[in-house]
Structure 1
């Protein structure tokens, strides 16, 4: 998305290559974990709808928190005129939330 703003477009090789590599590595990780006797993540847990829903909710909550932090930093520095140190100190409680 960042590269799309520079004119490269969403379907350019510099944009698609990292996404495709990441997807391939994710597939390789899942396949390897399914074959291991002691996997890092038990993929069978994702067969339970309650677990999958909980993981999905946590991922969405973390994405929302990161988005909030990015917007809050811009607001505090550009609109309110706070220094980076003051901004960091005001956002420090989000670290513990």
Structure 2
């Protein structure tokens, strides 16, 4: 399970993500939709431990991403649209 609670990310005066909370249950494929600058990539980067939140917390099966023994068996993400391979299914990418 992926749990976000009060997730916030600021870059100086700019608020990229503001107090975001949600839960993704196991086995559910979830996508983020929204305009450029809505905070989708920033949220994913915080879930994956690539960026640190200004406030709030992200847990995957009760742990932070860096605490997972073999994280790629818990969570998969495609952050760049250019990174997909035309010969692979969405399932294989994840």
Band the TM-score falls in, shorter-chain normalisation: under 0.3
Task: With the length of structure 2 as denominator, give the TM-score of the two structures.
Answer: 0.24
The answer to which structure, 1 or 2, has the higher relative contact order (CA under 8 A, 6+ apart) is 2
Q: Would you tell me which structure has more helix in proportion to its own residues? A: 1
Q: Would you tell me which structure has more strand in proportion to its own residues? A: 2
Task: With the length of structure 1 as denominator, give the TM-score of the two structures.
Answer: 0.24
